[in-house]
Structure 1
Amino acid sequence: MPQLHLLSGGAAKGLVSALQSRFQARTGLAINGHFDAVGMMKDQLLAGAPCDVLILTGALITQLTGSGHVVAGSARPLGLVKTGIAVKEGVAPPPLASTSQLRQALWSASGIYFPDPVKATAGIHFMNVMRQLGIDAEVSSRLHPCPNGAAAMQALSQAGDPGAIGCTQVTEIIFAPGVSLAAALPREFELATVYTAAVCSRSAQPEEATALIELLTSDEAAGLRSAGGFEPLPE
């Protein structure tokens, strides 16, 4: 079956999966999606990986538009995605409403699972949060960085100790089996990232790429975006 090639941050995997059959029925194209940390996806694009559609942070899409890798004017925002704390399914979440509560939850966790602190948006931010809380050295032996948010949530779900927790973008927590969203990070540490879809300038199927972006950002998909953790952009 003909395919449309997608390079995407992990935050959009659940949304794309939910709409894949609808897109295929309308276009006859399967979506060949690769999902990973946004930095990894950018590296794959620059290395020449097949790509029709990109879903990355708005800042990266702007950068890639400027460098000619994205079709100017094709970018459409999917929404805001916050970063949250996850616990194993069935485990009561700790209090997380304040700085002191977040610090205590991380300090007392038996293991902390999170995405790549160099390439992943949530991983970079989470390491900065732990430094700001002054506990990065104290908990270093319990840190479990993973290639991306999905891998971090899978590792958390398989952790033997119910005292383990994780952090990644809420869209990845919501769709991950075996874990539950405890809360978004407290407001003072909030990370709300705009994810944007755009047509790759070397796409062999620009019309179909545009059709996928229109479906992802359409009113008919609004409920799926909301349920999956994408929040509307502020007016």
Structure 2
Amino acid sequence: MSQLTILSALTLGAPFAQLEPKWRTLNPDIALDFHWHPSTVIAQQVAAGVAADAIVATIETQAQLESEGFLQADSVTDLVDSPIGFAVLPGVTPPDISTPEAVKQTLLAARSVAWSAGGASGIYFAELLKQLGIDAEVRARGTIIRAGYTAEQLHNGAADIALQQISELLMVPNIQIVGALPAPLQQPVSLAGSVLQTSDNAVAAQRFLHWLQTPEVFAVFSQYGLTKRY
């Protein structure tokens, strides 16, 4: 049996709890070895020479690594867009995030908002706070993690609102999804896959990426609010 080592954005962690058994049924001779990280960390690992066959990361990370010569030519495969949203604990009255002004007031009223400094959603959120003119106020009470799942900060009491891609929020059990950022503030995180130049199993890696574009896989992706890019 061969094995594909895949460096993947956290976004696909929840869907792959369902998808990996489907892959095993179709490809019993090819095992999948996932390593879950923010895209910024994936870029650092690839540049440092970490051994892997494929990556799934933001299109910005893909473009950077392609320009630096780390990706096989023509292997970049568009996958999904992932909306950013909020979560709170079960039983809490969901805050109003229906409009940009409502989001602003909800963030100012929160005891602490959790976001990830290393994740694409957190990087965008940091800019959004400046756009809304509330960076200093929210950051002073913010719970900022380097990487990982922000909704965990709800359970440990560090924060009362967590922001992240909705598919990543859903990786934490016993939380309540409030909803996605409203359209004027929404900037979905766009993901693509690619095969690394150093892959020893490039044909199988490309097969895996093409499989991620099939209707069977997208049916699972859509359960986590992911939308097509292809």
**TM-score between both structures, scaled by the size of structure 2:** 0.91
State whether structure 2 residue 21 is matched by structure 1 residue 21: yes
Residue 216 (structure 2) pairs with residue 220 (structure 1): yes
2:133 maps to 1:134 = yes
Equivalent residue of 1:127, what SS? helix
Contact 2:112 2:142 survives alignment (8 Å)? yes
- Judged with a 3 Å threshold, the aligned counterparts in structure 2 of structure 1 residues 160 and 167 are, in CA distance, closer, same or farther, namely closer
Quick one: structure 1 residues 68 and 157, their matched pair in 2 at CA, closer, same or farther if it must change by over 3 Å?
A: same
Of stretches 175-184 and 199-208 in structure 1, the one that deviates more from structure 2 is 175-184
Please say if 1:207 is aligned against 2:208. Answer: no
CA distance in 2, matches of 1:28, 1:132: 50
2: distance between equivalents of 1:128 and 1:14?
A: 27
1:8-64 deviation per Cα after TM superposition (whole angstroms, max 9, x unaligned): 111122223322122233143332211121111110111111111100111221232
2:68 matches 1:67: yes
After TM superposition, what 4+ stretches of structure 1 lie above 6 angstroms from structure 2? none
SS in 2 for 1:139: helix
User: Over residues 83-130 of structure 1, what are the superposed CA-to-partner deviations in whole Å (9 max), with x where a residue is unaligned?
Assistant: 1111112322111111221111111111211111xx321111111111
C-alpha change, 1:42 and 1:160, in structure 2 (3 Å) is closer
CA distance in 2, matches of 1:232, 1:70: 22
Structure 1: state its 5+ residue gaps.
none
CA contact (8 A) 1:27 1:208 kept: no
Q: Which position in structure 2 is the counterpart of 1:96?
A: 97
Gap change, CA 1:233 and 1:151, over 3 Å in 2: closer
**Post-superposition offset of 1:2:** 4.5
User: How many residue pairs end up in the alignment?
Assistant: 229
Cα RMSD, aligned residues only: 1.9
In structure 1, what is the Cα distance between the partners aligned to 2:34 and 2:218?
Answer: 21
Which ranges of structure 2 fall in alignment gaps of 5 or more residues?
none
Determine helix, strand or coil for the equivalent of 2:184.
Answer: helix
TM score, norm. by length of structure 1:
0.90
